[in-house]
Every structure is written in C-alpha cells, then in structure tokens.
Amino acid sequence: MMISALSLPPSDTEVDAWRAVLADVRTADLPQLPEPSRAEVAGRLQVPPTRGRTVHWATADGTGVAGLILFTEEGNTHTAFLDVLAVRPQARRRGVGAALWERVREELLAQGRTSVSTLIDLGGPGQAFAESLGFENVLPVTWWVQDVAEREPAEIPATPGYELKVWHGLVPDEWADAAAVAHAAMEDAPAGDSDEQFTAWTAERVHTAQQLVLDRGGELTMVAAVTPAGEVAAYTVLVLPDPAGPRALQYDTVVVPAHRGHGLGRAVKLGMLADAARRHPALRQIGTTVADENTPMRAVNDALGYRRERGAAVFQLRLKD
C-alpha cells in the first residue's frame, strides 16, 4: 500500500483529498455532527501548531489519512499526540488503518518518543482499533453540547467584586500576564495517567496560542471575571474554527482556586453564550469536553442546559521498540 507524507505545507489538492476522507468518516461515525469545513481543515493542515512539529500521511488511493503532533516544548519531547487516524468506512478491515499506524509508529520511534496519546470517541471503531494496538484509557471525558439556536436568553448573575470582560481575538496586552496566571490554574485539572507534562503559561504563550486560532482562519473570544486588583479570577474561551460554521468549540473554563465558590464559572459561561448568540446568529451548537471526574464543571454544565452528547477518552500507548 502506497502511503506518502503530505507536502509542507500541504497543497490545496492535498487539503481537498484530506477533507473528503474526514467528511466520509464523520458522516458514517458521527452523523449528528456537521462535516468539517474546508476552511477548518485547511487551517489545521497548513498552519502548524505552536507546541510541536506535525507530520501528515495519506494513502495514494484516498482511503485513509493520519496526522501526528510531535511535541517540541520542554518537558514533553518524549511524547506525542495522534491528532487523527481515519479510514473511509468502505475501506475498513483491509489493513489501511494498520498500514497508516505503522508509519506513525516508525516516526515516533525515529524521533525517540516513548508514548503517544489520542482522543477517541467511545463505542466506535476508533476505540476497538486503538485497544487492539495496546492503547489504554487514561482519562474518560464526555462531550457536552449547548444548543444555542434553541436556547432562551438567560440573565447573567451578578458577581459582586468582579467585572466581566469580553475580549475578541488576542487578550489585551495589559491583561496578558493576569490571563497567564489564571491559565496556570489548569495545572490542577484532571489529567489521568497521561505522560504529557504541564507547561508553564506566560503572557507570550497565551498570545501565541490565541494567534494560532486566528492564523488558521478561526475566531476566538475570551470572557473573563476580573478583580479591581487586576487579577483574572475566572475565564472561558470560545473558538469558531470556521466563523461561518454551525458549531463552535468551548476550550478551557477555569476558576482560580482563590476565587471559587462565587458562581464565576456560571457567570463567564453565560457571558460567553450571550456574546456568541449576539455576534454569530448562524451558530447552532457549542461543543466542549469535560473530564468525568471534574464534578464541579459537570454541575455547571448541567445547570446551564448543556446536554451530554457522547463519551470519549484520552487513550495512551507506551511504545516499545
């Protein structure tokens, strides 16, 4: 079977072929979700991530693709993330996935990686394939979804001692350091038995991560609860990979430990929902993942009308030569 690495950056023809595979897989495995748009696929393929180096492969006959992120940040050069390994439904059980995996595995070993992780939906073909290779579930999570189009406007609760701010695009320079401090509270978020190590947040890293979303053609909004002392006490981030698409992603939602118990998680999420409904009338859904052991955030989602969409998990494989 002929498998080739994509060009750097991938050509428009390669992007179109890649998207065609993902669209077929999405329709078969997750028909309730919209197909990935060309803008979203092109952004992810043609603009590399800030945390590592990517390698993309595709079969010559257009039946399968695979994408790997090799982390380059300090503390994580021993591990990697399998961003995608997808095979068209009609080509499954013919060795396509195994051949793609072998290319991925060869690259991992050549780069000295001792582990690799990936996010997989539970109960589908991806889980069975990963487990056959020795991957183990190290962090169960759940996809939650907010049906924005069907949601009635809700009043944002008062947050005495805090002001809600909404930033579109990059966080203003004067708030970047405080945003980095708040990001650091993610260190106590559930991580399971993952080999990936927490990397310190700085103002520069916050801006770099946000700029990546914009460079890939997306839009980003951060809603934060701030104090008179200039702290970011809580925040949530909404990303539209394709601003014209019907589904957005809610990235991390964080309440700094010293400010918990004041309803800030609920307030920033409601602020985000109100802003999204106002600025993006075509938006239908917002999806987000929450670790199953993160009881407080699950409770917030329940209270705000998010519904459980599907189970997933971070799976990890420790490599052997």
pLDDT by residue (tens digit) across 243-271?
999 999 999 999 999 999 999 999 999 99
Share of the chain above pLDDT 90, in %: 90
Q: Is a pLDDT exceeding 70 seen at residue 157?
A: yes
Range in 19-33, 41-55, 140-154 the model is least confident about: 140-154
Residue 188: its pLDDT value, please? 67
Starting at the earlier edge strand, list the strands of the sheet with 219-226: 3-5, 52-59, 64-71, 79-87, 115-121, 307-318, 136-147, 285-291, 247-255, 232-240, 219-226, 163-168
Interval 191-218 mean pLDDT: 93
Residue 135: closest CA among 114, 121, 115, 111: 115
Residue 41: its pLDDT value, please? 98
Q: What is the DSSP letter of 36?
A: P
Residue 264: closest CA among 306, 287, 297, 229: 297
Q: Is a pLDDT exceeding 80 seen at residue 134?
A: yes
Interval 216-233 mean pLDDT: 98
pLDDT by residue (tens digit) across 197-206?
988 999 999 9
Residue 186: its pLDDT value, please? 80
Question: What distances in angstroms separate CA 208 from CA 169, 181, 212, one per listed residue?
Answer: 11, 15, 6
Residue 254: closest CA among 160, 187, 310: 187
pLDDT grade, residue 193 (50/70/90)?
confident
* 8 A C-beta contact, residue 271 and residue 223: yes
> For residue 230, is it left (φ>0), alpha (ψ between -120 and 50) or beta?
left
Q: Is a pLDDT exceeding 80 seen at residue 189?
A: no
Question: What distances in angstroms separate CA 296 from CA 139, 175, 240, 265, 292, one per listed residue?
Answer: 17, 26, 25, 9, 10
- The string of DSSP codes covering 98-119 is HHHHHHHHHHHHHTT--EEEEE
Question: What distances in angstroms separate CA 116 from CA 73, 91, 109, 187, 317, one per listed residue?
Answer: 15, 25, 11, 20, 5
Range in 189-198, 269-278, 285-294 the model is least confident about: 189-198
Strand boundaries in 186-263, DSSP class E? 219-226, 232-240, 247-255
Residue 152: its pLDDT value, please? 79
What the chain holds in terms of domains, given with CATH numbers, is: 3-113 (3.40.630.30), 146-313 (3.40.630.30)
Interval 150-162 mean pLDDT: 88
Share of the chain above pLDDT 70, in %: 98
Q: Is a pLDDT exceeding 90 seen at residue 150?
A: no
Interval 154-171 mean pLDDT: 95
Strands 136-147 and 307-318, by their bridges, are antiparallel
CB atoms within 10 A of CB 185: 21
Residue 40: its pLDDT value, please? 97
Interval 27-37 mean pLDDT: 96
